[in-house]
Amino acid sequence: MNLKKIGKSNVEVTEIAFGAWAVGGWMWGGTDYKLSVRAIQRAIDLGMTTIDTAPAYGFGLSEKIVGEAIRGKKDKVQILTKYGLRWNTDKGRFFFNSRSNEGKPARMHKYASKASVLIECEESLKRLGIDCIDLYQIHWPDPTTSIEETMEAIDLLIQQGKIKASGVCNYNVNEMKTAAAIVPLASNQVPYSMVKREIEKDVVPYCIRNHIGIIAYSPLQRGVLTGKITHGYKFGEGDNREDLPYFKGENLYKINHFLQKIKTIAEDREITLPQLVINWTMKQPGITCVLVGARSPEQVEENTRAAGFELTDEEINVINNELDKLKLDI
C-alpha cells in the first residue's frame, strides 16, 4: 500500500489506515481483545501499517490493544493517537455522559491544558509501549484552554522527541490558523464520507492551499454505506448507531437506494460496495489518508483491497451524479 507524506512533516502514512475506535469497544458494544490484536497484525502484514487510536477509545483499551499488536513490529508501523478528551477529570468542557467498558459511569470532558497534554502523552506512550508517537492529535477543540497553550505543550513534546508531528481533529479553519502559528500543523482529522461532505466548503481548500494533510474518518459513515444495514437491523447492546439520523427512517431508505444505484459499478469490477465507497473517498481532493475500522482479520482483508484499483472518470461521474440527487434530512 502506498505511503504518503502527511502535510509538510516527515511522517508518512498509508492511503488507508487502521482506525482503532471499534476495537476499543466504546460505543461499539464491546470488543474481543484477542481478535482485535489479530486484526491489527493482519493489517500490518498486508501493508496497512498506519494505525490511528486514542485514549478515549475504550478508556485506554484501544491503545493497549494496539501496543500488544505492534510488539516486535514497531519499526514497521506509524502510530497516530490523540489527546484532549478525558474521562478522569472534571476540568475542561463537559462533552457527554458515557459508560466505561465495565459499565461504570464516565463523564467525558474536552480538556487540553499544557499540563494535561504532557501527562496524557506519557500515559499513551506507556500503553502503546513506544518511545515516540508519529502523529499526536488533539481529539476535539477545548473551548476552556487557549489553542496557544495547548500547542505550546505540543511544541515541547516535539523538542523532547516524544512526538514527531502535530495534528488536530475536528478543527475549523480559524482554529487551524491559530494552531499553525504556534507549531507546524501536519494534518486535520475530520469526518468525511459520501453522505457527509461539509468540509469541502472551506476545510479542504484551506488545507490544500497550506499543505496540510486531511485524514478522513468514518468514510463508511459508521457502516451505513456498506449496504448491510437496512430497516429492522438489530444493533447490539451498547451500540449507539441506531440513535443517529443516518440509520433512521427516510434517510436510511435513501442511502440504501443510492447504494443500489452505484452497486453495478462494484459488480462490474468484482469488488464490494464498501471497497468502492472507500476508494472514492481516498481519491477526493485534499484527502491524504482514510481511516477504516475493522474488528477481525477478514474485515481488514476486505478493507485493504479498496486500495487495489483506480476508478475511471466515467465511474466517478456516475457516482457523483447519483450523490447530487441524494437529499438527506440530517
CA distance readout (Å), 319 to 15, 131, 306: 21, 44, 16
Nearest to 219 by CA among 190, 254, 243: 190
Catalytic residue (one of 57, 111, 136, 217):
57
Q: Is 265 among the domain residues?
A: no
Q: What is the CATH number of the domain that holds 68?
A: 3.20.20.100
Q: What is the pLDDT along the chain (330 residues), one digit of tens a residue?
A: 899 999 999 999 999 999 998 887 665 556 788 999 999 999 999 999 999 999 999 899 999 999 999 999 999 999 999 999 998 888 999 988 877 666 677 788 999 999 999 999 999 999 999 999 999 999 999 999 999 999 999 999 999 999 999 999 999 999 999 999 999 999 999 999 999 999 999 999 999 999 999 999 999 998 999 999 988 888 877 677 888 999 999 999 999 999 999 999 999 999 999 999 999 999 999 999 999 988 899 999 999 999 999 999 999 999 999 999 999 988
Query: What totals of helices (H) and strands (E) does the chain contain, helices first?
Result: 10, 13
DSSP 196: B
Q: Is 246 among the domain residues?
A: no
Torsion sign (Cα): 169, 294, 124, 95 = positive
Distance CA 303, CA 280 (A): 13
Concatenated DSSP letters of 80-110: EEEESEESS-S-SEEEEEEE-TTS-EEEEEE
DSSP 221: G
Q: Is 89 among the domain residues?
A: yes
Question: What is the count of structural domains for the chain?
Answer: 1
| SS (HEC) of 123-171 | HHHHHHCCCCEEEEEECCCCCCCCHHHHHHHHHHHHHCCCEEEEEEECC
Residue type, 60: G
Distance CA 23, CA 40 (A): 9
189 — phi, psi (to 5°)? Answer: -95, 120
57 is catalytic: yes
Q: Is 109 among the domain residues?
A: yes
Q: Is 82 among the domain residues?
A: yes
307 — phi, psi (to 5°)? Answer: -95, 5
For strands 163-169 and 287-293, give the pairing.
unpaired
Q: Is 81 among the domain residues?
A: yes
Distance CA 322, CA 259 (A): 9
Q: Which domain holds residue 151?
A: 3-222+280-309
- Residues forming beta bridges with residue 98, ordered by sequence position: 106
Q: Is 194 among the domain residues?
A: yes
pTM, rounded to two decimals: 0.93
